[in-house]
């Protein structure tokens, strides 16, 4: 997503960062105007609804312009940086960074037209190559005053617009420029006749973000509804009366954005589209725990419990491939997938994410352990790439780490099933005809009832339980 306007100055645009992602927020610039960058060198760190991503530039040269301050949300296809390449790079940056840093760069001189268009790496991120057609350049339009009945937000609380000249919601002009960079924010405000000067931004240095505008619009709608109810009950109120500010009893509003918003959207879609059902069984995991202890006593790399459960899952999916599938609703077809890309739920400070272990069906317990550890560490550090968070075909959810026995998981759309594993705890259990204390675990399977019936789901879960109780069963499938 870069193009040459003059054969030497390359404009690099925000690339497609993965399926369903249309925008990203600038978290940290990694280069300054005037810096020399190499091909595929990261130039900016952005946050999407899925992960933190360092975006590499497919061109080498001198950075002549940056677009957007830290905290700005940019749509896919918006300019990120311009880079002077070839002889233009040797001549220094095309312009110094301006105060707004969002306008198009001004070339220092007209370059000769004989220089061929340089080739970029074209091999950096999902859906991102230098040969794609450039997206339309963003233009920042100046704000226009607009009457509004919306409320602003100051320090996380709602404040009502003060009446001026007897008209509710008509605000006096505020001093100073409006701290907005993103054209998306300005457009959203214009569409709803919202005066950005009435908002207090939650971004760095008071920068107004899209979440601030959406919050103000929701608050205005809720406040308008309450005002209408009061007027209807009291027989009407003076037109010039100001709406009172929200009371503390209204609670705190937290925007559904970032990872939390992405999780909410995906889970809601799963519930809407997938007719799911859940079955569960208790299993004696004593022998599995003993087998793991014996494996780890050999002096080799340690094997994790989740890796053993993953091996059991892939073996079970080989016997019951209906559960390693997805439903094409438009074609009304069930698509059974050849490989198992195993997702696993990981709780992080940024929220719940589901990293994906590629080709789990061809990995042994040792390599599965290493991959689970690598992806878990990357998830906690916010370094997962979009490719590591997408493309799963089946999910393993070990909620036992939270100290709970059972759950009814929501399927990770568009997959067809999820296996849930509770905590493994000592419990009374009948073993070989006698009461004994054994290590017991509850296993639950939530499945898409469109891809199979209860017999298939029960067969899958029973096979998993048999492998947990008698790990030697698994050897017959290797």
Same domain as 245, residue 200: yes
Over the Cα atoms of the chain, what is R_g? Answer: 28
Q: Are residues 238 and 350 in the same domain?
A: no
Whether residues 392 and 345 share a domain: the answer is yes
Residues 267 and 225 in one domain: no
pLDDT in tens, 27-40: 889 999 999 999 88
Confidence of residue 94 (pLDDT cuts 50, 70, 90): very low
Assess whether 72 and 55 both reside in one domain. yes
User: What pLDDT score does 247 carry?
Assistant: 52
pLDDT of residue 225: 56
Number of domains in the chain: 3
Identify whether 413 is a catalytic site residue.
no
Q: 147 in a domain, yes or no?
A: no
Of the listed ranges 130-139, 193-202, 231-240, the least confidently predicted one is 130-139
CB hemisphere CA count around 277 (13 angstroms)? 13
Residue tagged active-site, from 3, 361, 413, 449: 449
- Whether 144 maps to a domain, the answer reads no
Residue 209 lies in a domain: yes
Q: Does residue 365 form part of some domain?
A: yes
In terms of domains, do 246 and 270 share one? no
Q: What is the CATH number of the domain that holds 175?
A: 4.10.320.10
HEC-encoded secondary structure of the chain: CEEECCCCEEEEECCCCCCCCCEEEEEEECCCCCCEECCCEEEEEEECCCCEEEEEECCCEEEEEECCCCCCEEECCCEEEEEECCHHHHCCCCCCCCCCCCCCCCCCCCCCCCCCCCCCCCCCCCCCCCCCCCCCCCCCCCCCCCCCCCCEEECCEEECCCCECCECCCCCCCCCCCCCCCHHHHHHHHHCCCCHHHCCCCCHHHCCCHHHHHHHHHHHHHHHHHHHHHHHHHCCCCCCCCCCCCCHHHCCCCCCCHHHHHHHHHHHHHHHHCCEEEEEEEEECHHHHHHHHHHHCCCCCCCCHHHHHHHHHHHHHHHCHHHCEEEECCCCEEEECCCCCEEECEEECCEEECCEECCHHHCCHHHHHHHHHHHHHHHHHCCCCHHHCCCCCEEEECHHHHCCCCCCCCCCCCCCEEEEECCCEEEEEEECCEEEEEEEEEEEEEEECCCCCHHHHHHHHHHHHHHHHCCHHHHCCC
Beta strands 356-357 and 342-344, pairing class: antiparallel
Regarding beta strands 434-448 and 425-431, do their DSSP bridges make them parallel or antiparallel, or are they unpaired? antiparallel
Q: What percent of the chain has pLDDT over 70?
A: 69
State how far the Cα of 284 lies from the Cα of 435, in Å rounded to an integer.
Answer: 13
**CB within 8 A of 410, min separation 6: which ones?**
267, 270, 271, 276, 418, 446
Which among 139, 143, 217 has a CA at the least distance from the CA of 186? 143
Same domain, 33 and 59: yes
How much of the chain exceeds pLDDT 90, in percent?
A: 43
Chain segment 46-87, per-residue pLDDT in tens: 887 667 778 889 889 999 999 999 888 888 889 999 999 875
Q: Does 205 reside within a domain?
A: yes
Q: Which residues are 342's β-sheet partners? A: 357, 394
In a domain, 146, yes or no: no
Last residue within a domain, chosen from 250, 277, 309: 250
What CATH number does the domain containing 68 carry?
2.40.50.100
Lowest mean pLDDT across 199-213, 280-294, 340-354: 199-213
The reply to whether 94 and 158 lie within a common domain is: no
What average pLDDT does range 144-172 have in this prediction? Answer: 36
Nearest to 15 by CA among 137, 140, 105, 135: 135
Which of the residue ranges 115-129, 259-273, 382-396 would you say has the lowest mean pLDDT? 115-129
The pLDDT assigned to 71 comes to 85
The whole-number average pLDDT for the span 455-470 is: 97
Maximal CA-CA distance, the chain: 90
* Single residue among 139, 161, 179 that ends a domain in this structure: 139
Tell me how far apart the alpha carbons of residues 339 and 341 are, in angstroms, rounded to a whole number: 6
Domain-embedded: residue 145: no
Give yes or no for residue 328 having a pLDDT over 60. Answer: yes
**β partners of residue 159:** 152
Mean pLDDT on 168-197: 61
pLDDT for 360 beyond 90: yes
Q: How many CB atoms lie within 10 A of CB 344?
A: 25
CATH number of the domain to which 348 belongs: 3.30.559.10
Residues 285 and 375 in one domain: yes
Structural domain that includes position 408: 259-475
What pLDDT was estimated at residue 348? 81
Q: Which two tokens mark 50?
A: 């899925």
Same structural domain, 314 and 379: yes
Residue 115 — very low, low, confident or very high, per pLDDT cuts 50/70/90?
Answer: very low
**Do 350 and 232 share a structural domain?**
no
> Binning pLDDT at 50, 70 and 90, where does residue 183 land?
low
Among 229, 250, 271, where does a domain finish? 250
Pair (188, 244) in one structural domain: yes
């Amino acid at each position: 997503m870069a193009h040459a306007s003059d054969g030497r100055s390359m404009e690099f645009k925000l690339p497609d960062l993965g399926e369903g992602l249309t925008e990203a927020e600038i978290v940290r610039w990694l280069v300054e105007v005037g810096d020399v960058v190499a091909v595929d060198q990261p130039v900016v760190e952005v946050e999407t609804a899925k992960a933190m991503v360092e975006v590499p530039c497919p061109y080498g040269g001198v950075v002549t312009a940056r677009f957007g301050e830290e905290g700005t949300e940019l749509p896919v296809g918006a300019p990120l940086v311009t880079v002077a390449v070839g002889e233009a790079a040797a001549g220094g940056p095309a312009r110094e960074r301006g105060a707004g840093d969002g306008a198009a760069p001004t070339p220092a001189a007209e370059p000769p037209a004989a220089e061929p268009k340089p080739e970029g790496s074209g091999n950096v991120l999902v859906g991102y190559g230098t040969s794609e057609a450039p997206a339309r350049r963003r233009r920042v339009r100046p704000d226009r005053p607009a009457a509004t009945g919306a409320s602003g937000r100051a320090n996380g609380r709602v404040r009502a617009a003060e009446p001026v000249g007897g008209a509710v919601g008509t605000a006096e002009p505020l001093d100073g420029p409006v701290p907005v960079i993103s054209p998306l924010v300005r457009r959203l405000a214009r569409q709803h006749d919202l005066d950005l000067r009435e908002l207090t931004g939650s971004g760095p240095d008071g920068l107004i973000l899209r979440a601030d505008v959406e919050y103000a619009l929701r608050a205005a709608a809720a406040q308008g509804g309450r005002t209408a109810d009061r007027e209807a009950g009291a027989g009407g109120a003076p037109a010039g009366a100001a709406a009172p500010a929200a009371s503390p009893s209204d609670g705190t509003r937290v925007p559904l954005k970032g990872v939390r918003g992405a999780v909410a959207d995906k889970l809601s879609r799963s519930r809407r589209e997938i007719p799911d059902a859940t079955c569960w069984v208790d299993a004696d995991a004593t022998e599995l725990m003993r087998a793991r202890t014996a494996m780890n006593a050999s002096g080799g790399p340690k094997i994790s419990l989740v890796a053993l459960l993953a091996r059991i899952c892939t073996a079970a999916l080989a016997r019951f491939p209906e559960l390693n599938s997805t439903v094409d609703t438009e074609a009304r077809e069930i698509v059974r997938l050849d490989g198992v890309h195993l997702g696993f739920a990981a709780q992080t400070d940024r929220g719940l994410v589901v990293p994906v272990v590629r080709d789990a069906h061809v990995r042994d317990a040792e390599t599965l352990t290493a991959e689970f550890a690598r992806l878990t560490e990357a998830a906690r550090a916010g370094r997962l790439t979009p490719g590591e968070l997408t493309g799963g075909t089946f999910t393993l959810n070990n909620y036992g780490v939270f100290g709970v026995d059972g759950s009814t998981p929501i399927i990770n759309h568009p997959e067809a099933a999820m296996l849930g594993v509770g905590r493994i705890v000592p419990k009374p259990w009948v073993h070989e005809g006698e009461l004994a204390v054994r290590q017991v675990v509850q296993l639950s399977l939530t499945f898409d009832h469109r891809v199979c019936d209860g017999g298939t789901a029960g067969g899958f879960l029973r096979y998993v339980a048999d492998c947990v109780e008698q790990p030697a069963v698994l050897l017959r499938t290797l």
